[in-house]
């Protein structure tokens, strides 16, 4: 690794700046350095006004998602050495309103989540908790899709989100799938009606951009295809 990184950072304050710009910094390298360490060094020692968001530092909260060298990544989990270059460009996630610098407003993302009612609702006739065995086919069906941390990387990478503000987006649809596939849920059919719209599953063009961007290796496209299948089954009265 080189001794210095040449870092170009996106800067923009909508309240005072006419247009965005980039500031350039030279950042010293140390072992096991992550992108989050890079922006923290800049803020601590070079420019205190740099704004960014982070919390857990272990890849669980999703708050430090940024656009690094042309790809959405978690800053805390992206090693500088893995980028294999000393030239690094850091930008805010695309498809989100910019609050300041690298901080984006997540409100549009979570508004889409609200539309699919992202919480489990039990059936009224159930008098005691119902379990799904970890080794059952029901659990295996959705197991890979449950690790979403709501970081917004897939949303930022989706070209359909970029062209249609109403589109629910891959994260919300993935969450809808994990609930609709659970036969214990009381409003599966209601959820399916929400996603069975032009701004729902039918807007997805199966480009797999979301899958490439997901830091948890989730494939939202697979969830969306399964939702499409269920929408068709519902039309024929097969899905219940």
- The residue extents of the domains of the chain are 4-104, 107-235
* Per-residue model confidence as pLDDT tens digits over 207-224: 999 999 999 999 999 999
Q: What is the mean pLDDT of residues 80-93?
A: 96
| CATH code linked to domain 107-235 | 1.10.1060.10
Asked whether the beta carbons of 149 and 184 are under 8 A apart, the reply is: no
Q: Which residue has the higher pLDDT, 128 or 27?
A: 27
Helix (H, G, I), strand (E, B) or coil at 24: strand
For residue 197, pLDDT over 80 is answered with: yes
More confident residue, 236 or 38: 38
Q: What are the pLDDT digits (tens) for 105-122? A: 999 999 999 999 998 888
Q: Is the pLDDT score of 25 beyond 80?
A: yes
The pLDDT assigned to 237 comes to 80
Check pLDDT > 90 for residue 137.
Answer: no
Phi, psi for residue 211 in degrees, rounded to 5: -65, -40
The answer on pLDDT for 128 being more than 70 is no
Please return the burial class of 73, using the count of CB atoms within 10 Å of its CB with bins 0-12, 13-18 and 19+: buried
Q: Residue range 161-188: average pLDDT?
A: 92
**What CATH class is the domain 4-104?**
alpha beta
Is the pLDDT at 82 greater than 90? The verdict is: yes
Q: What is the pLDDT of residue 133?
A: 74
How confident is the model at residue 240, as a pLDDT?
Answer: 61
> Using CA atoms, how far apart are residues 116 and 146, in angstroms rounded to an integer?
16
| Structure confidence at residue 182 (pLDDT) | 84
Q: What is the mean pLDDT of residues 168-184?
A: 92
Q: What is the mean pLDDT of residues 37-49?
A: 97
- 161 pLDDT band, cuts 50/70/90, is very high
Contacts 24+ apart (CB under 8 A), 203-209: 203/160, 203/164, 203/167, 203/168, 204/160, 204/170, 204/173, 205/159, 205/160, 207/159, 209/154, 209/157, 209/158, 209/159
pTM of the model: 0.91
Residue 208 C-beta-side C-alpha neighbours within 13 Å: 4
Contact 117, 55 (CB under 8 A): no
């Amino acid at each position: 690794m080189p001794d210095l990184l040449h870092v170009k950072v996106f800067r923009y304050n909508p309240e005072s700046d006419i247009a965005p710009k980039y500031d350039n910094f030279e950042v010293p390298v140390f072992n096991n350095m992550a992108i989050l360490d890079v922006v923290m060094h800049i803020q601590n020692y070079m420019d205190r006004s740099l704004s960014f968001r982070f919390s857990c530092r272990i890849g669980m909260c999703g708050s430090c998602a940024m656009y690094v060298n042309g790809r959405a990544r978690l800053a805390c989990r992206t090693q500088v050495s893995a980028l294999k270059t000393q030239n690094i460009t850091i930008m805010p996630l695309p498809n989100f309103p910019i609050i300041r610098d690298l901080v984006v407003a997540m409100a549009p993302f979570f508004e889409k989540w609200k539309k699919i009612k992202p919480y489990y609702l039990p059936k009224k006739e159930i008098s005691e908790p119902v379990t799904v065995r970890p080794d059952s086919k029901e659990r295996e069906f959705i197991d890979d899709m449950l690790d979403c941390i709501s970081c917004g990387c897939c949303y930022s990478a989706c070209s359909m989100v970029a062209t249609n503000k109403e589109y629910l987006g891959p994260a919300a649809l993935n969450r809808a799938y994990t609930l609709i596939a659970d036969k214990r849920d009381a409003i599966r059919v209601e959820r399916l009606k929400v996603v069975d719209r032009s701004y729902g599953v039918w807007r997805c063009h199966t480009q797999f951009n979301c899958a490439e961007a997901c830091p948890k290796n989730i494939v939202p496209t697979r969830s969306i295809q399964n939702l499409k299948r269920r929408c068709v089954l519902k039309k024929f009265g097969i899905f219940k």
